[in-house]
Amino acid sequence: MDSAALLDLLGNENRRRILQLLARKPCYVTEISEYLGVSPKAVIEHLQKLEDAGLIESRTDDQRRKYFHIARHVRLEVNVSPYGFASKSAYPENNSFDITTCRHISLELEYDEENDLEELLGTLERLEQLENELSLAQRWVQGRLCDVLDQISETVGTEPESRIYADVLSSVREEPKAVNALARDVDAPREVVAELLETMADEGIVRRTERGWELTVD
How many domains does the structure of the chain reveal? 2
Position 127 in a domain: no
**Stretch (H or E) spanning 51:** helix 40-52
Residue range(s) defining the domain that contains residue 211:
157-215
Position 91 in a domain: no
The last residue of one of the domains, among 29, 54, 70, is 70
Position 172 in a domain: yes
Share of the chain above pLDDT 90, in %: 36
111 has pLDDT over 70: no
CATH number of domain containing 197: 1.10.10.10
Position 66 in a domain: yes
Position 105 in a domain: no
The last residue of one of the domains, among 47, 70, 93, is 70
Q: Which sign does the torsion angle of CA 190, 196, 202, 204 carry? A: negative
φ/ψ (deg, to 5) at 130:
-65, -40
Residue type at 24 in one-letter notation: R
Of 32-41, 162-171, 176-185, the least confident? 162-171
pLDDT score of 94: 63
Per-residue pLDDT tens digits for 138-160 = 888 888 888 887 787 777 765 55
Position 123 in a domain: no
66 has pLDDT over 90: yes
Per-residue pLDDT tens digits for 6-63 = 999 999 999 999 999 998 889 999 999 999 999 999 999 999 999 999 999 999 988 8
The last residue of one of the domains, among 70, 88, 114, is 70
Position 199 in a domain: yes
Tell me the pLDDT band of 177, cut-offs 50, 70 and 90.
Answer: very high
